[in-house]
Protein backbone atom coordinates (compact mmCIF):
# COMPACT_ATOMS: atom_id res chain seq x y z
CA UNK A 1 0.00 0.00 0.00
CA UNK A 2 1.08 3.59 -0.27
CA UNK A 3 0.77 6.57 2.06
CA UNK A 4 3.06 9.51 2.44
CA UNK A 5 6.84 9.16 2.55
CA UNK A 6 7.89 8.90 6.19
CA UNK A 7 4.51 7.70 7.49
CA UNK A 8 4.50 4.01 8.22
CA UNK A 9 1.44 1.80 8.25
CA UNK A 10 1.56 1.41 12.05
CA UNK A 11 1.35 5.17 12.64
CA UNK A 12 -1.57 5.56 10.24
CA UNK A 13 -3.59 2.51 11.28
CA UNK A 14 -6.88 3.08 13.08
CA UNK A 15 -7.16 0.94 16.24
CA UNK A 16 -10.85 0.30 16.89
CA UNK A 17 -10.90 0.04 20.68
CA UNK A 18 -14.70 -0.12 20.60
CA UNK A 19 -16.33 -2.31 17.96
CA UNK A 20 -19.80 -3.72 18.42
CA UNK A 21 -20.24 -4.92 14.81
CA UNK A 22 -18.98 -8.49 14.72
CA UNK A 23 -20.49 -9.71 11.46
CA UNK A 24 -17.98 -9.94 8.65
CA UNK A 25 -19.67 -10.67 5.31
CA UNK A 26 -16.36 -9.80 3.62
CA UNK A 27 -14.32 -12.04 5.93
CA UNK A 28 -12.32 -11.22 9.03
CA UNK A 29 -9.24 -10.27 7.05
CA UNK A 30 -8.97 -6.65 5.92
CA UNK A 31 -7.69 -5.80 2.42
CA UNK A 32 -4.25 -5.12 3.94
CA UNK A 33 -3.85 -6.09 7.63
CA UNK A 34 -0.73 -3.95 7.94
CA UNK A 35 -2.85 -0.84 7.31
CA UNK A 36 -6.39 -1.77 8.36
CA UNK A 37 -8.32 -3.69 10.94
CA UNK A 38 -11.29 -5.45 9.32
CA UNK A 39 -14.66 -3.67 9.17
CA UNK A 40 -17.83 -5.67 9.66
CA UNK A 41 -21.35 -5.05 8.37
CA UNK A 42 -24.86 -6.38 8.83
CA UNK A 43 -26.43 -8.03 5.80
CA UNK A 44 -28.12 -5.68 3.32
CA UNK A 45 -31.88 -5.25 3.74
CA UNK A 46 -34.08 -7.69 1.79
CA UNK A 47 -35.12 -4.99 -0.68
CA UNK A 48 -32.50 -2.26 -0.53
CA UNK A 49 -28.78 -1.72 0.12
CA UNK A 50 -27.16 -1.17 3.49
CA UNK A 51 -26.32 2.55 3.32
CA UNK A 52 -23.48 4.08 5.31
CA UNK A 53 -22.42 7.72 5.31
CA UNK A 54 -18.72 8.61 5.31
CA UNK A 55 -17.76 12.12 6.41
CA UNK A 56 -15.10 14.19 8.10
CA UNK A 57 -16.03 17.00 10.50
CA UNK A 58 -14.24 19.54 12.67
CA UNK A 59 -14.03 19.12 16.45
CA UNK A 60 -17.14 21.33 16.68
CA UNK A 61 -19.05 19.27 14.12
CA UNK A 62 -18.70 21.46 11.00
CA UNK A 63 -19.10 19.49 7.77
CA UNK A 64 -19.00 22.25 5.16
CA UNK A 65 -19.96 25.82 4.24
CA UNK A 66 -20.84 27.65 1.06
CA UNK A 67 -17.59 28.21 -0.78
CA UNK A 68 -16.68 31.88 -1.21
CA UNK A 69 -14.39 30.91 -4.11
CA UNK A 70 -13.13 27.68 -5.72
CA UNK A 71 -10.14 27.77 -3.35
CA UNK A 72 -12.30 28.07 -0.24
CA UNK A 73 -12.43 24.32 0.46
CA UNK A 74 -14.18 23.39 3.74
CA UNK A 75 -13.03 19.77 3.59
CA UNK A 76 -9.36 20.70 3.33
CA UNK A 77 -9.81 23.26 6.14
CA UNK A 78 -11.38 20.63 8.40
CA UNK A 79 -8.60 18.16 7.58
CA UNK A 80 -5.60 20.49 7.98
CA UNK A 81 -1.98 19.51 7.35
CA UNK A 82 -1.81 16.83 4.64
CA UNK A 83 1.30 15.12 6.02
CA UNK A 84 -0.03 14.23 9.48
CA UNK A 85 -0.49 10.51 10.17
CA UNK A 86 -4.12 11.17 11.20
CA UNK A 87 -4.86 12.63 7.81
CA UNK A 88 -3.09 9.77 6.03
CA UNK A 89 -5.15 7.35 8.17
CA UNK A 90 -8.37 9.14 7.24
CA UNK A 91 -7.51 9.07 3.53
CA UNK A 92 -6.96 5.32 3.65
CA UNK A 93 -10.07 4.84 5.81
CA UNK A 94 -12.16 6.57 3.13
CA UNK A 95 -10.62 4.35 0.46
CA UNK A 96 -11.06 1.23 2.61
CA UNK A 97 -14.76 2.06 2.92
CA UNK A 98 -14.94 2.03 -0.90
CA UNK A 99 -14.00 -1.67 -0.90
CA UNK A 100 -17.40 -3.13 -0.03
CA UNK A 101 -19.74 -2.00 -2.78
CA UNK A 102 -20.72 1.24 -4.47
CA UNK A 103 -20.33 4.95 -3.66
CA UNK A 104 -22.98 7.69 -3.57
CA UNK A 105 -22.38 11.44 -3.98
CA UNK A 106 -24.61 14.51 -4.03
CA UNK A 107 -24.39 16.55 -7.23
CA UNK A 108 -23.11 19.61 -5.39
CA UNK A 109 -20.15 17.70 -3.98
CA UNK A 110 -19.31 16.68 -7.52
CA UNK A 111 -19.70 20.22 -8.83
CA UNK A 112 -17.36 21.42 -6.06
CA UNK A 113 -14.87 18.56 -6.57
CA UNK A 114 -15.16 17.89 -10.33
CA UNK A 115 -12.10 15.63 -10.49
CA UNK A 116 -13.40 13.25 -7.84
CA UNK A 117 -13.37 9.58 -8.91
CA UNK A 118 -14.73 7.62 -5.94
CA UNK A 119 -12.65 4.47 -6.26
CA UNK A 120 -10.12 2.94 -3.84
CA UNK A 121 -7.49 4.68 -5.94
CA UNK A 122 -8.30 8.32 -6.70
CA UNK A 123 -6.70 10.33 -9.50
CA UNK A 124 -3.15 11.14 -8.42
CA UNK A 125 -3.01 8.41 -5.73
CA UNK A 126 -0.27 5.78 -5.57
CA UNK A 127 -1.43 2.36 -6.76
CA UNK A 128 -3.60 0.41 -4.28
CA UNK A 129 -3.58 -3.15 -5.64
CA UNK A 130 -4.56 -4.73 -2.30
CA UNK A 131 -7.84 -2.79 -2.26
CA UNK A 132 -8.78 -3.90 -5.78
CA UNK A 133 -7.75 -7.49 -5.06
CA UNK A 134 -10.11 -7.40 -2.08
CA UNK A 135 -13.02 -6.17 -4.21
CA UNK A 136 -12.36 -8.73 -6.90
CA UNK A 137 -11.92 -11.57 -4.38
CA UNK A 138 -15.41 -10.76 -3.08
CA UNK A 139 -16.98 -10.79 -6.52
CA UNK A 140 -17.63 -7.09 -6.84
CA UNK A 141 -16.58 -4.99 -9.85
CA UNK A 142 -13.10 -3.48 -10.01
CA UNK A 143 -14.44 0.07 -9.49
CA UNK A 144 -17.43 0.95 -7.33
CA UNK A 145 -20.45 2.16 -9.25
CA UNK A 146 -20.79 5.93 -8.77
CA UNK A 147 -24.35 6.76 -7.69
CA UNK A 148 -24.87 10.48 -8.28
CA UNK A 149 -27.91 12.20 -6.76
CA UNK A 150 -29.28 15.17 -8.69
CA UNK A 151 -32.80 16.65 -8.74
CA UNK A 152 -32.24 18.92 -11.75
CA UNK A 153 -29.77 16.74 -13.68
CA UNK A 154 -27.37 19.64 -13.86
CA UNK A 155 -24.25 17.49 -14.24
CA UNK A 156 -21.04 17.93 -16.19
CA UNK A 157 -21.00 14.65 -18.14
CA UNK A 158 -17.42 15.21 -19.34
CA UNK A 159 -16.15 14.88 -15.72
CA UNK A 160 -13.80 11.99 -14.92
CA UNK A 161 -16.47 10.26 -12.80
CA UNK A 162 -18.56 9.69 -15.96
CA UNK A 163 -15.60 8.77 -18.15
CA UNK A 164 -13.38 6.44 -16.16
CA UNK A 165 -13.01 3.12 -18.00
CA UNK A 166 -14.66 0.37 -15.97
CA UNK A 167 -16.59 2.75 -13.71
CA UNK A 168 -20.34 2.83 -14.26
CA UNK A 169 -22.29 5.82 -13.05
CA UNK A 170 -25.99 5.84 -12.16
CA UNK A 171 -27.75 9.16 -11.75
CA UNK A 172 -30.64 9.08 -9.28
CA UNK A 173 -32.89 11.90 -10.35
CA UNK A 174 -36.46 13.21 -10.69
CA UNK A 175 -38.62 12.33 -13.72
CA UNK A 176 -38.72 15.98 -14.81
CA UNK A 177 -34.92 16.01 -15.28
CA UNK A 178 -34.51 12.49 -16.63
CA UNK A 179 -35.46 13.02 -20.29
CA UNK A 180 -33.04 15.87 -20.90
CA UNK A 181 -30.34 14.04 -19.00
CA UNK A 182 -30.81 10.84 -20.97
CA UNK A 183 -30.56 12.79 -24.28
CA UNK A 184 -27.24 14.20 -23.09
CA UNK A 185 -26.08 10.87 -21.65
CA UNK A 186 -26.46 9.09 -25.01
CA UNK A 187 -22.88 10.05 -25.73
CA UNK A 188 -21.71 8.73 -22.34
CA UNK A 189 -22.75 5.07 -22.41
CA UNK A 190 -21.51 4.24 -18.91
CA UNK A 191 -24.15 6.56 -17.42
CA UNK A 192 -27.45 5.02 -16.35
CA UNK A 193 -30.46 6.84 -14.95
CA UNK A 194 -32.98 5.98 -12.26
CA UNK A 195 -35.87 8.44 -12.27
CA UNK A 196 -38.30 8.55 -9.36
CA UNK A 197 -40.02 11.26 -7.33
CA UNK A 198 -36.89 11.48 -5.21
CA UNK A 199 -37.84 14.72 -3.45
CA UNK A 200 -40.33 12.61 -1.51
CA UNK A 201 -39.00 10.04 0.98
CA UNK A 202 -41.09 7.29 -0.66
CA UNK A 203 -39.61 8.09 -4.08
CA UNK A 204 -36.07 8.12 -2.72
CA UNK A 205 -36.76 4.78 -1.08
CA UNK A 206 -38.12 3.40 -4.36
CA UNK A 207 -34.97 4.57 -6.17
CA UNK A 208 -32.86 2.54 -3.74
CA UNK A 209 -35.09 -0.49 -4.13
CA UNK A 210 -34.44 -0.20 -7.87
CA UNK A 211 -30.68 0.17 -7.31
CA UNK A 212 -30.90 -3.07 -5.35
CA UNK A 213 -33.20 -5.02 -7.72
CA UNK A 214 -32.06 -3.73 -11.12
CA UNK A 215 -28.40 -2.92 -10.50
CA UNK A 216 -27.38 -5.26 -7.69
CA UNK A 217 -26.31 -2.50 -5.30
CA UNK A 218 -25.88 -4.15 -1.89
CA UNK A 219 -23.57 -1.88 0.15
CA UNK A 220 -23.57 1.84 -0.58
CA UNK A 221 -21.08 4.30 0.94
CA UNK A 222 -22.62 7.78 0.73
CA UNK A 223 -19.82 10.32 0.94
CA UNK A 224 -22.10 13.37 1.23
CA UNK A 225 -22.64 16.19 1.20
CA UNK A 226 -24.95 17.25 3.93
CA UNK A 227 -28.05 17.73 1.74
CA UNK A 228 -28.11 14.22 0.38
CA UNK A 229 -27.28 12.70 3.76
CA UNK A 230 -30.23 14.62 5.28
CA UNK A 231 -32.53 13.48 2.48
CA UNK A 232 -31.49 9.85 3.05
CA UNK A 233 -31.95 10.25 6.79
CA UNK A 234 -35.42 11.79 6.32
CA UNK A 235 -36.38 8.74 4.26
CA UNK A 236 -34.94 6.45 6.97
CA UNK A 237 -32.46 5.11 4.42
CA UNK A 238 -29.27 6.24 6.15
CA UNK A 239 -28.39 3.22 8.23
CA UNK A 240 -25.20 4.50 9.82
CA UNK A 241 -22.44 7.08 9.45
CA UNK A 242 -18.66 6.75 9.72
CA UNK A 243 -17.47 10.09 11.08
CA UNK A 244 -13.89 11.28 11.36
CA UNK A 245 -13.69 14.06 13.96
CA UNK A 246 -10.56 16.16 13.51
CA UNK A 247 -8.95 18.50 16.03
CA UNK A 248 -9.72 21.70 14.08
CA UNK A 249 -12.22 24.17 15.49
CA UNK A 250 -14.06 26.08 12.76
CA UNK A 251 -15.33 29.56 13.55
CA UNK A 252 -18.89 29.36 12.24
CA UNK A 253 -19.17 33.15 12.00
CA UNK A 254 -16.26 33.29 9.53
CA UNK A 255 -18.20 31.53 6.73
CA UNK A 256 -21.60 31.65 5.03
CA UNK A 257 -23.96 28.69 5.00
CA UNK A 258 -22.15 26.59 7.62
CA UNK A 259 -23.61 23.09 7.98
CA UNK A 260 -22.97 20.65 10.78
CA UNK A 261 -23.24 16.90 11.02
CA UNK A 262 -26.20 15.29 12.80
CA UNK A 263 -26.45 15.49 16.58
CA UNK A 264 -26.21 11.71 16.73
CA UNK A 265 -26.93 11.34 20.43
CA UNK A 266 -29.98 13.61 20.28
CA UNK A 267 -31.26 11.58 17.30
CA UNK A 268 -30.91 8.34 19.23
CA UNK A 269 -28.07 6.82 17.17
CA UNK A 270 -25.83 4.18 18.77
CA UNK A 271 -22.08 4.63 18.86
CA UNK A 272 -21.06 1.20 17.65
CA UNK A 273 -17.36 1.75 16.99
CA UNK A 274 -14.69 4.20 17.97
CA UNK A 275 -10.98 4.30 17.22
CA UNK A 276 -7.82 6.35 17.12
CA UNK A 277 -4.43 6.00 15.56
CA UNK A 278 -1.71 4.84 17.91
CA UNK A 279 0.49 7.95 18.18
CA UNK A 280 -1.38 10.36 20.51
CA UNK A 281 -3.88 12.25 18.37
CA UNK A 282 -6.78 14.63 18.79
CA UNK A 283 -8.66 12.89 15.96
CA UNK A 284 -11.33 10.27 16.65
CA UNK A 285 -12.88 7.84 14.18
CA UNK A 286 -16.49 6.95 15.01
CA UNK A 287 -19.32 4.91 13.63
CA UNK A 288 -22.87 5.94 14.57
CA UNK A 289 -25.74 3.63 13.74
CA UNK A 290 -29.28 4.89 13.17
CA UNK A 291 -31.00 1.69 12.04
CA UNK A 292 -30.58 -1.48 14.04
CA UNK A 293 -30.27 -4.70 12.08
Should residue 64 be labelled a site residue for ligand NAP when binding is judged by CB under 6 A?
Answer: yes
Comparing C-alpha atoms, which of 64, 95, 89, 66 is closest to residue 78? 64
Number of residues that bind ligand NAP (CB under 6 A): 30
Should residue 104 be labelled a site residue for ligand NAP when binding is judged by CB under 6 A?
Answer: no
In DSSP notation, 272-286 reads: EEEEEESS--S-EEE
Complex with ligand NAP: residue 60 or 154, whichever CB lies closer: 154
Should residue 290 be labelled a site residue for ligand NAP when binding is judged by CB under 6 A?
Answer: no
In DSSP notation, 205-255 reads: HHHHHHHHHHH---EEEE---HHHHHHHHHTT---EEEEEE-S----GGGS
Query: How many residues does the structure list for the chain?
Result: 293
Phi, psi values for residue 49, rounded to 5°: -70, 160
Should residue 30 be labelled a site residue for ligand NAP when binding is judged by CB under 6 A?
Answer: no
Should residue 74 be labelled a site residue for ligand NAP when binding is judged by CB under 6 A?
Answer: yes
Should residue 109 be labelled a site residue for ligand NAP when binding is judged by CB under 6 A?
Answer: yes
Complex with ligand NAP: residue 54 or 140, whichever CB lies closer: 54
Candidates 103-111, 126-134, 156-164, 212-220: pick the segment binding ligand NAP (CB under 6 A): 103-111
Candidates 1-9, 18-26, 96-104, 224-232: pick the segment binding ligand NAP (CB under 6 A): 224-232
Should residue 63 be labelled a site residue for ligand NAP when binding is judged by CB under 6 A?
Answer: yes
Complex with ligand NAP: residue 91 or 225, whichever CB lies closer: 225
Say how many C-beta atoms besides its own lie within 10 A of residue 231's C-beta. 19
Residue number with the smallest Cβ distance to ligand NAP: 225
Candidates 35-43, 208-216, 225-233, 270-278: pick the segment binding ligand NAP (CB under 6 A): 225-233
Return the residues of window 132-171 that contact ligand NAP according to CB under 6 A: 149-152, 154
Q: Which of 82, 137, 180, 199 binds ligand NAP (CB under 6 A)?
A: 199
Tally of CA atoms within 13 A in the half-sphere of 260 that contains its CB: 10
Question: In Å, what is the CA distance from 117 to each residue of 122, 124, 219, 240?
Answer: 6, 10, 18, 23
Classify each residue of 170-200 as buried b or exposed e, where b means 16 or more C-beta atoms within 10 Å of its C-beta: bbbbbeebbeebbeebeeeebbbbbbbebee
Q: Return d(Cα 252, Cα 209) in angstroms, integer.
A: 38
Name the site residues for ligand NAP (rule: CB under 6 A): 55-56, 63-64, 67, 74-75, 78, 106-109, 112-113, 149-152, 154, 172, 198-199, 204, 223-228, 231
Amino acid sequence: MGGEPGVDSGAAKIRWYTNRERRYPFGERSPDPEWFEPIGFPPPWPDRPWIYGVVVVSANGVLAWRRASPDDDPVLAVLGDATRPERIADGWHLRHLRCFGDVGLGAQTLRDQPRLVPSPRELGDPPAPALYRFREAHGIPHHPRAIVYSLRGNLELTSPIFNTPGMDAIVVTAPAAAAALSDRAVRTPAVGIIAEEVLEPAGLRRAHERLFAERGVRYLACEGGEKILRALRAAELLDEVFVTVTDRIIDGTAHEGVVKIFDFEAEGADLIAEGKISPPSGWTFRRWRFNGR
